[in-house]
Structure 1
Amino acid sequence: MSTTCDLCSAPLTDPDTGLPDSVLLPCSHTFHYPCIEDEYLNYDFPATASSSTTTTIPAPLPTASNSFPCPTCHTLHNPLLATLHNEGGLQHSYNLGAHLAEEAYYDARPHLKRMRAFLSFCAEGDAGDDGEVESDAGRLVDAVDRETGEGVLHVAAGNARWDVVRVLLEKGADLGRMDNAGRGVLDVVREVAGEEGVREVVEAAGWGR
């Protein structure tokens, strides 16, 4: 197995951490993840539909987007499966094409990328050091994951992010929203925190006043 990237020729480690950073394709060529990601994002794919301004995150991309030629030997991999070696260990048969297609889709649609980051913040509270994502609460309280139908309150409550739930309610998030499975926000609250949690959320929302 190669010890250097077939694109930049540098060792297959992260220069900042010294940890492994390699993407091995079935054709046996190996790359840094950022190198092959850059190749993918700059590849001349057929034109796609223009960006919309919807506040709903789209469903997953078609599997046809998963194909990609090796940057070195130009062998077409469809789907683009790879062996990843990074700080998380070894991952075999990872669908790299699907992951890169999703990243490219959101890079071309900044408003949707921001929305996805905001839903991630609602789930994990990972807004970054500058807290920019949290500041989007007023604009993105209506964000919905189209695949599940979950709104921001579903996501925050499902992950017991009660501080985020309160902020979202203050910003006008819809406590009555239903997901694609017919679950209301309070159903999720009840699953996670019981009836006491429901009472607290209802009180925070000002229902019944």
Structure 2
Amino acid sequence: MAVCVACKKPLEVEIEPDEEEEDVEMGGSSSSGKAPAPQPETVPDDVHLTCGCHFHWDCLLEAYQITECPSCGKNIASTSNGIQQVLCTLNNEGGIQENLDILPLLTEESYLKAYPEERKCRAFLEFCREGDVKAIIGMLQDDSDDEDEDEDMGDEETARRTIGADELLRYQDPIGEMQSGLHAAVQAQSREVAWLLLLLASNLPLLEFPPEVFQEAEAMGIMRGLTEDKTDIRSMKDANGKAAEDLAKEAGGVWMAGWIGNGRLAI
């Protein structure tokens, strides 16, 4: 079996059994009367680069360089339709994937390694794309708990920057064309999330909102705070100079009928 060129260990990783499997195994018993301890499962963990080198995923992240293999130094980048990519054969718990472009994942993980406090922001954007309103509200409401925890931390731990609710709502993705949550929601056709973000992070007059928006907000225990001295999320532009309204115009459909026609995204 090939080994990881970085750590020289077999290209596999142990995973703990899930709770259901543990419950099944706990039903058995050994001669001592105690249930046998569940055994960890071994699954492949092999990133086979075009240069021929094999890495564990985490080992590759630790040594990651964009265009060269961190082991042999050969160029591992290629270009397709003018876009740079890093192709590999990935063999992991999900099976074997050939010619997989891992450059976006490597770029994101490298960025988050340098700026770990932004993991929360990027998770927030992902929830906006998925239309997961409950998860978004949960992240915003957890903000006060984070502040309480920071008070109990030592100097080394408090050195990391805390991301507050206002910054979450107005975060723009530095490695994702500077999109805000509103850009992401409009692009993903997630209308419910878009209305929520407008409620919490814009100066749009409250009379412009459908009654359903207030009903949902009240049920989840949220409401707009002071926004006059904060950046209006509608004014944020991505790396292409487009506001969320521009994306809504391009998308058409429900956006044209529900927003643009009534001027609800207009500043």
Answer yes or no: is 1:187 the counterpart of 2:210.
Answer: no
Deviations 1:37-63 (A, max 9, x none): 3x427xxxxxxxxxxxxxxxxxxxxxx
Residue 83 of structure 1 aligns with an amino acid whose one-letter code is T
| Aligned residue-pair number | 177
Aligned mates of 1:130, 1:18 — CA distance in 2: 34
Alignment of structure 1 residues 165-204 onto 2, 5 Å: 165-173=194-202, 174-190=233-249, 191-192=251-252, 193-198=254-259
* Structure 1 stretches lacking a partner, 5+ long: 42-63
What residue in structure 1 maps to residue 111 of structure 2?
105
Distance 1:109 1:200, change over 3 A: farther
Contact 1:122/1:164, CA 8 A, preserved across alignment: yes
SS in structure 1 of the partner of residue 97 of structure 2: strand
What residue in structure 2 maps to residue 83 of structure 1?
89
SS in structure 2 of the partner of residue 118 of structure 1: helix
What residue in structure 1 maps to residue 221 of structure 2?
none
What residue in structure 1 maps to residue 168 of structure 2?
140
SS in structure 2 of the partner of residue 145 of structure 1: coil
Bigger shift: 126-135 or 189-198? 126-135
Aligned mates of 2:133, 2:113 — CA distance in 1: 18
Distance 1:31 1:128, change over 3 A: farther
Which of 119, 125, 142 lines up with 2:125 in the alignment?
119
What residue in structure 2 maps to residue 56 of structure 1?
none
* Structure 2 stretches lacking a partner, 5+ long: 17-40, 78-85, 142-163, 203-232
Identity of aligned residues (%): 25
Shift of 1:124: 1.9
Residue 69 of structure 1 aligns with an amino acid whose one-letter code is P
Shift of 1:179: 3.4
Distance 1:128 1:8, change over 3 A: farther
TM-score between both structures, scaled by the size of structure 2? 0.50
SS in structure 1 of the partner of residue 117 of structure 2: helix
What residue in structure 1 maps to residue 144 of structure 2?
none
Shift of 1:4: 5.7
What residue in structure 1 maps to residue 63 of structure 2?
40
Shift of 1:159: 0.6
More helix by share: 2
SS in structure 1 of the partner of residue 110 of structure 2: helix
Residue 257 of structure 2 aligns with an amino acid whose one-letter code is E
Aligned mates of 1:22, 1:102 — CA distance in 2: 19
Shift of 1:99: 4.1
Distance 1:148 1:33, change over 3 A: closer
Aligned mates of 1:176, 1:129 — CA distance in 2: 25
Aligned mates of 1:67, 1:132 — CA distance in 2: 40
TM-score between both structures, scaled by the size of structure 1? 0.60
Distance 1:67 1:99, change over 3 A: farther
What residue in structure 1 maps to residue 25 of structure 2?
none
Kindly name which structure, 1 or 2, has the bigger radius of gyration based on alpha carbons.
Answer: 2
SS in structure 1 of the partner of residue 90 of structure 2: strand
**Superposition RMSD in Å:** 4.0
Q: Bigger relative contact order, structure 1 or 2, given CA contacts below 8 A and separation 6+?
A: 1
Contact 1:14/1:21, CA 8 A, preserved across alignment: no
Aligned mates of 2:181, 2:63 — CA distance in 1: 31
Distance 1:106 1:162, change over 3 A: same
Aligned mates of 1:12, 1:104 — CA distance in 2: 22
Contact 1:13/1:22, CA 8 A, preserved across alignment: no
